[in-house]
Each structure stands twice: as C-alpha cells, then as structure tokens.
Amino acid sequence: MLKGKKILLGVTGGIAAFKAAALCSKLVKEGAEVRVIMTESATKLITELTMQSLSKNPVYTDTFDEKNPQYIAHISLADWADLVLVAPATANIIGKMAAGIADDMLSTTLLATQAPIMLAPAMNVHMYVHPAVQRNLAELAARGVMLIEPGEGLLACGYTGKGRMEEPESIVAVVNSFFSREERREGLPLAGKKVVVTAGGTVERIDPVRYISNDSSGKMGFALAKAAQELGAEVTLLAANTQLAPPAGVRVVSVESAQDMYEAALAEWSDTDILVKAAAVADYRPKSAETQKIKKTGDTLTLELVKNIDILETLGKQKTKQFLIGFAAETNDLEKNALDKLKRKNCDLLVANDVTREGAGFGTDTNLVNIYDQAGLVQSLPLLSKEELGFVILELAAQRLPGASK
C-alpha cells in the first residue's frame, strides 16, 4: 500500500520513542521510503544508529550538520516528503508547532514543509488534558494537521489514563488510509453526481428587527460543499444565516427560515444523489411575525411558538434513490440519541458530535464526531479540521452509492 511513498518520520523525546523503531520498520516493510529526524531529547532514549539501520537512510538531528553541501537539509527534506509523521509527538513539539517556533531540525522542517502532517501524541494524562495542550491541538487540527489520538492505559509515569502513543500497527493503518483517501480524491469519486448541502442557522422572524436563531456558523456545511466540489460533484449549497464566503465553483441558494430551506431543498430533491443536511434548523418559529417593530409596553412579553417542518424527516420519508446524511449536535447520550434520530428520519448516515467537548462546538474550525448507519457505529473519528472531515464524510458516502466500486 505504501510502495514509493516518501515519509519523513519525526521522533521526539518521549518514552514512547522506543515505539518509533517498530513504526519505522513497519513503514519500510510496507514499501515506504523513510527518512528520520530525531530531536536531541529523542537521542537520549533511542540511538540514531537504530533508526538509521531500520530506515536505511541517514538520520538527521542537527540543523547545522549539513550532510550534502548541495542542499539545505531541512528545506530538502521538507520538499521531499509526501507525508510528515511525528511519533511520538510530545507536548513540547506540539506547542512549538502551534506557536510557529523553529529552534531545532524537526521544528524547522515542520515549519518549512508543504506536505500533510500527522501527529501521534504521547505524554502524561494530565499533560494531555491540560488546557494549553488541548488549545494547541485544536489550533493544529484547524490548520489541517491530522491527529492520531493516544490510547488509554498504564503510562510509563505510573498513571493510568489517556496519553499512551497509539501502537505502530495502528499508526501504519492510519497512514495507509490517508494515502488511500488521497488516491480516491484523484479519481473524483463524485464525478457526475449532484450533491446538495444545507448550512448555517435558520432565522425565524419575530418582527423586522428581531428573530430566533442559533449559534451555527455554517463552517461544517461549507466545508462539506467544498469537499464535494473537489471530489467532482455538481454542488448546490443552501445557505442560511452565515458570514462565510462560499467555496469557488459552488452554486449557492440563500435562504432565511426553515420553511425557505425546506422549499429550496424540495426544489433540488428529485435529481439529487446526496443530500447532506448540516444546517441547524430552528425547531420552532413565532406563530405570527409582526410587520412592524414590537414596542416595549410592559415587564414581560409572551411569544407563541409553533413547530417548524422537520426537513430531514420529511425528505427521509420521500426518498427513493437519494442518499441522505443527517447531523446531530448532542450534549448527552450521544450514541443513543444519534441512532434514534437516524432511524426516525430514515438517514443513510448520521454524523453526531457532543458539542460540550473541546473543539467540537458551534463556530470552531474543528470537529470530533462519530458516524453511524442503520447497523450502528461506522467510524469514531479523532479531532479533525472541518475541511478534512468533509472529505471523510463524502468519501464514505461515495463508496455507498449504488454502483460504487468498493
């Protein structure tokens, strides 16, 4: 699977550095060409000679130790890589990356590369959950850096909890999946398909200057529209209340209320292949919207609300050939609520997130989701940028369309 792929492996000074040897060996056995950069701290835990023997290439540790006078090593390596994989990734290197610090060979190369970057964090459980580390990870995920979440178990420090670097076999599987996705993108799996995406929060008018809405930014929906377009689809974006610029090449239909969005979706429905309902649609609206501004007349004001049409449920009952993807923002009982919604609304896939978790709420550039189908959990994904998540969701949908090659 990895034959001919050029992987730059960064090894930092965590006790999990010993796993980097097995990881390097497995990558090479899969056919990858591996070059290794070690931090000074990493060399205290595992030798350069070990990594050189396993990678069959020189190991880089010092920015100023230029092995070939024709090249500047950190720039050459940055340009050479198809993927930069840092395993283990300590809190220190994560902080440097987030802040743009380049004070050694690895951090300098990371700052210079245009290749995709993947991190396998490893550290004490209290370090991992520290707000500074979580902030830095969220910042990196928003930039498109891929994270392989650490596992839970007994750590070298004696604590038990989350912080153990994922096993080399699992990391190799993630790397394989990444390159597999890249190849599928090149094949434009949604070419000739019509994808409709809803995004943003609907607005339900109280009077000309007031309304009921929610905190949805539209970022997830816009990311999905962009991914669908890049995967070859003809894309229509039904955009409610949002301040975002639409992706290039995407047809945009602006809507305001839940009723507007339903009518716009219905107009596209008959020839739609995939509908992704990422918008946050208001469940209720004022029974009547005043034509003039309501004046302040007392200490209280009572609004009578009536239920809006449930767009997802309505279209779920009507679908014939359409592939329907719903979203669920939950604060508790994630799986139970997600599966209940998926079945009630006849979705093919449902993407659920716990909006109370760091990096997964409204307005963020990242998301942390589980994907379900009628049989149950399909994928539990780590913290990803919404752009990367958009690709994951639509590639999964493309694989499940009638006639798709498996």
Contact 389, 364 (CB under 8 A): no
Instruction: Pick the closest to residue 239 from 214, 215, 265 (CA basis).
Output: 265
Instruction: Pick the closest to residue 319 from 279, 373, 364, 274 (CA basis).
Output: 274
Q: Rounded to an integer, what distance in angstroms lies between the CA atom of residue 78 and that of residue 57?
A: 16
How are beta strands 284-286 and 305-307 bridged, if at all? Answer: antiparallel
Based on the domain organization, do 139 and 193 belong to the same domain?
A: no
Number of domains in the chain: 2
Based on the domain organization, do 67 and 152 belong to the same domain?
A: yes
Based on the domain organization, do 256 and 349 belong to the same domain?
A: yes
Based on the domain organization, do 199 and 153 belong to the same domain?
A: no
Supply the pLDDT for residue 196. 98
Q: Rounded to an integer, what distance in angstroms lies between the CA atom of residue 140 and that of residue 297?
A: 51
In a domain, 1, yes or no: no
- How do the pLDDT tens digits run along the chain, 406 residues long? 799 999 999 999 999 999 999 999 999 999 999 999 999 999 999 999 999 999 999 999 999 988 788 889 999 999 999 999 999 999 999 999 999 999 999 999 999 999 999 999 999 999 998 999 999 998 888 888 988 888 877 777 777 778 889 999 999 998 988 888 777 666 789 999 999 999 999 999 999 999 999 888 999 999 999 999 989 999 999 999 998 888 877 899 999 999 999 999 999 999 999 999 999 999 999 999 999 999 988 899 899 999 999 999 999 999 999 999 999 988 899 999 999 999 999 999 999 998 888 877 777 889 899 999 999 999 999 888 898 999 999 999 999 998 765 5
Q: Rounded to an integer, what distance in angstroms lies between the CA atom of residue 86 and that of residue 295?
A: 60
Burial class (CB in 10 A: 0-12, 13-18, 19+), 118: buried
Q: Which residues are annotated as a binding site?
A: 283, 293, 327, 341, 345
Instruction: Pick the closest to residue 238 from 224, 258, 252 (CA basis).
Output: 252
Contact 196, 236 (CB under 8 A): yes
Distance of alpha carbon 179 from the chain centroid: 16
Q: Which residues are annotated as a binding site for CTP?
A: 283, 293, 327, 341, 345
CATH code: domain of residue 337: 3.40.50.10300
In a domain, 134, yes or no: yes
Contact 252, 237 (CB under 8 A): yes
- Residue 157 annotated among the catalytic residues of the structure: yes
Instruction: Pick the closest to residue 153 from 171, 143, 135, 165 (CA basis).
Output: 165
Supply the pLDDT for residue 203. 95
Based on the domain organization, do 321 and 203 belong to the same domain?
A: yes
Based on the domain organization, do 206 and 77 belong to the same domain?
A: no
Based on the domain organization, do 289 and 350 belong to the same domain?
A: yes
Based on the domain organization, do 178 and 90 belong to the same domain?
A: yes
Residue 85, phi-psi category: left (phi > 0), alpha (psi -120 to 50), beta (remainder): beta
165, 185, 205 — which closes off a domain?
185
Burial class (CB in 10 A: 0-12, 13-18, 19+), 183: exposed
Other beta carbons less than 10 A from residue 106's beta carbon = 29
How are beta strands 83-89 and 117-121 bridged, if at all? Answer: parallel
Based on the domain organization, do 373 and 358 belong to the same domain?
A: yes
Other beta carbons less than 10 A from residue 317's beta carbon = 10
Q: Rounded to an integer, what distance in angstroms lies between the CA atom of residue 154 and that of residue 167?
A: 14
Q: Rounded to an integer, what distance in angstroms lies between the CA atom of residue 121 and that of residue 89?
A: 4
Contact 7, 168 (CB under 8 A): no
Using CA atoms, how far residue 34 sits from 43, 60, 119, 139, 224, in Å, is: 18, 12, 16, 27, 33
Q: Rounded to an integer, what distance in angstroms lies between the CA atom of residue 333 and that of residue 67?
A: 56
Active-site residue identified among 101, 157, 355, 378:
157
Q: Specify the length of the chain in residues.
A: 406
pTM for the whole structure? 0.70
How are beta strands 83-89 and 6-11 bridged, if at all? Answer: parallel
Other beta carbons less than 10 A from residue 353's beta carbon = 22
Instruction: Pick the closest to residue 17 from 1, 38, 31 (CA basis).
Output: 38
CATH code: domain of residue 164: 3.40.50.1950
- Secondary-structure percent of the chain, ordered helix, strand, coil, rounded to 5: 35, 25, 40
Q: Rounded to an integer, what distance in angstroms lies between the CA atom of residue 379 and that of residue 393?
A: 10
Q: Which domain holds residue 152?
A: 6-185
Other beta carbons less than 10 A from residue 55's beta carbon = 21
How are beta strands 151-154 and 160-164 bridged, if at all? Answer: antiparallel
3-state SS class at 324: strand
Based on the domain organization, do 235 and 157 belong to the same domain?
A: no
Based on the domain organization, do 193 and 175 belong to the same domain?
A: no
